[in-house]
Amino acid sequence: MAGHDLREQRDACRMSFLVHAAGGDRPHAEANATLVESGTAAQVQVGPTSLATFVAPGRLTAGRFGLFRYDMAPQAGGASPHLHTGFSESFYVLAGSVTLYDGRSWVPASPGSFLHVPEHGVHGFRNDTSENTSMLLLFAPGTPREAFFSELAEIVASGRQLSEAELAAFYQRHDQYMVDVDVGA
């Protein structure tokens, strides 16, 4: 009887898992992980107040997602309310208090706060505080958002003022559509 109880305990501790049908009970395994060492991810300075770090752009993740870090200086602007049609965007606050627009109102988000915005969801962000802020941005699928931030950084650095038509074309190229809402709310 003791052997039976021991077998039941052992079986109860086994983990169950689902293996894809194509893999059978011994799926093919690969050593194909990619490590991005600290300080090696490409970065772009977006004006004097913001820094985008491309931790895992879509080309690194086979287009599954893109993960960026976005740091803002005190009182930094950010992104006015807008939407994307081809990807979702999520925000995870690492440091400071980021003010996020959730489609209804601007809300302060402290470290550990998370906001998920599905396709077509109106959102925005900014730093209204006197402290530095930092957050992770997750895009899914991994559309090449680094092109947006790089082009934006070039425009800001050049001091060039885009016409309304040029600005609309820039946003459309990058699947970003500005939404007219009361941004002071």
SS (H, E, C) 74-142: CCCCEEEEEECCCCEEEEEEEECCEEEECCCCEEEECCCCEEEECCCCCEEEECCCCCCEEEEEEEECC
The pair of structure tokens assigned to 184 is 């002071």
Q: Confidence band (pLDDT; 50, 70, 90) for 125?
A: very high
Residue 22 has pLDDT above 90, yes or no: no
Q: Kindly report the pTM of this predicted structure.
A: 0.82
Q: Confidence band (pLDDT; 50, 70, 90) for 185?
A: very low
Contacts of 50 by beta carbon, 8 Å cutoff, 6+ apart: 70, 71, 72, 73, 76, 77, 78
What is the Cα–Cα distance from 47 to 70, expressed in whole angstroms? Answer: 12
Q: What is the mean pLDDT of the chain?
A: 89
What is the Cα–Cα distance from 81 to 182, expressed in whole angstroms? Answer: 9
The per-residue pLDDT for range 103-115, each reduced to its tens digit, is 999 999 999 999 9
Task: Look at the block and give the residue holding tokens 């870090």.
Answer: 69
Query: For residue 179, which of 124, 128, 127, 137 has the smallest C-alpha distance?
Result: 124
Please name the fold of domain 42-178: Jelly Rolls (2.60.120)
Residue 33 has pLDDT above 60, yes or no: yes
What does the pLDDT average to over 131-142? 97
Q: Confidence band (pLDDT; 50, 70, 90) for 21?
A: low
Residue 13 has pLDDT above 60, yes or no: no
pLDDT score, position 23: 61
Q: Report yes or no: 38 and 44 within 8 Å, Cβ to Cβ.
A: no
pLDDT score, position 2: 57
pLDDT score, position 184: 45
pLDDT score, position 28: 82
The per-residue pLDDT for range 143-175, each reduced to its tens digit, is 889 999 999 999 999 999 999 999 999 999 999
